[in-house]
Amino acid sequence: MAADNRHPEAKKTAARPAGHEIIQTYLRSLDTSPGVYRMLDAEGRVLYVGKARNLRARVSNYARASGHSARIARMISQTASMMFLTTRTETEALLLEQNLIKQLKPHFNVLLRDDKSFPNILVSHEHAFPQIKKHRGAKKEKGAYYGPFASAGAVNRTLNQLQRVFLLRNCTDAMFASRTRPCLLYQIKRCAAPCVGYVSETDYRSLVVDAERFLQGKSTQVQAKLAKEMAAASEALEFERAAALRDRIKALTQVQQVQGVNPRGVADADVVALHMEGGQACVQVFFIRANQSWGNRDFYPRTGSGAEAPEVLEAFLAQFYSDKEPPRLVLLGNPIENADLMVQLLSDRAGRKVELAVPLRGEKAELVENAARNARESLARRMSESAAQAKLLEGVAETFDLDAPPQRIEIYDNSHIQGSDAVGGMVVAGPEGFLRSQYRKFNIRGADLTPGDDFGMMKEVLTRRFERLLKEDPDRESGTWPDLLLIDGGAGQVSAVDGIMKELGVEDIAMIGVAKGIDRDAGKEEFHRPGRRPFALRHNDPVLYFVQRLRDEAHRWAIGAHRAKRAKAVGATPLDEVSGIGAARKRALLAHFGSAKAVSRAGLADLKAVEGISAGMAQKIYDFFHAKS
Predicted confidence (pLDDT) at residue 155 exceeds the cutoff of 70: yes
Check if the beta carbon of residue 143 is closer than 8 Å to that of residue 123.
Answer: yes
| 546 has pLDDT over 80 | yes
Q: How far apart are CA 1 and CA 74, in angstroms?
A: 35
pLDDT at 583: 73
Does CATH place domain 409-568 in 3.20.20.140? Answer: no
Planar angle of CA 389, 391, 397, nearest 5 degrees: 105
CB under 8 A, 24+ apart: contacts of 151-160: 151/119, 151/295, 151/297, 152/119, 153/295, 154/119, 154/294, 154/295, 155/119, 155/120, 155/121, 158/121, 158/294, 159/121, 159/132, 159/133, 159/134
First CA to last CA distance, the chain: 96
CATH class of 17-108: alpha beta
Residue 395 has a pLDDT of 94
User: Which of 115-124, 209-218, 320-329 has the largest mean confidence?
Assistant: 320-329
User: What does the mean pLDDT of the chain come to?
Assistant: 84
| Chain CA centroid to CA 157, Å | 19
Burial environment of residue 627 by CB neighbours within 10 A (0 to 12, 13 to 18, 19 or more)? exposed
pLDDT at 85 over 90: yes
Task: Return all residues near 372 (Cβ < 8 A) that are at least 6 apart.
Answer: 273, 274, 275, 284, 333
The answer to whether the beta carbons of residues 481 and 469 sit under 8 Å apart is yes
Average pLDDT over residues 503-526: 80
Pair 97, 51: CB distance under 8 Å: yes
Looking at residue 259, its pLDDT comes to: 47
- The pLDDT score that the predictor gives to residue 398 is 94
Q: How far apart are CA 313 and CA 288, in angstroms?
A: 19
pLDDT score recorded for residue 271: 95
Q: Which residues, 6 or more positions from 120, have their beta carbon under 8 angstroms from its beta carbon?
A: 134, 135, 136, 139, 145, 146, 147, 148, 149, 155
Residue 561 has pLDDT above 70, yes or no: yes
- pLDDT grade, residue 160 (50/70/90)? confident
Q: CA 127, 133, 135: angle at the middle one, nearest 5? A: 110
pLDDT band at 50 (very low <50, low <70, confident <90, very high): very high
- The CA distance from 582 to 38, in Å, is 45
Q: What are phi and psi of 143, to 5 degrees?
A: 155, -175
Checking if the pLDDT of 627 tops 50, the result is: yes
CA quadruple 256, 257, 258, 260: dihedral positive or negative? positive
Q: What's the average model confidence in pLDDT over 477-491? A: 88
What's the pLDDT tens digit per position in 370-397? 999 999 999 988 888 888 899 999 999 9
- Per-residue pLDDT reduced to its tens digit, 317-342: 999 998 888 999 999 999 999 999 99
User: Which pLDDT score is estimated for 335?
Assistant: 93
Specify the pLDDT at position 299: 92
- pLDDT at residue 244 is higher than 80: no
Q: Judge: domain 268-381, CATH 3.30.420.340.
A: yes
Domain ranges for the chain: 17-108, 120-258, 268-381, 409-568, 574-626
Nearest to 271 by CA among 153, 155, 377, 150: 150
Interatomic CA distance for residues 171 and 80, integer angstroms: 60
Where is pLDDT greater, at 293 or 259?
Answer: 293
The domain defined by 574-626 carries CATH number 1.10.150.20: yes
409-568: same fold as 17-108?
A: no
- Whether 287 has a pLDDT exceeding 80, the answer reads yes
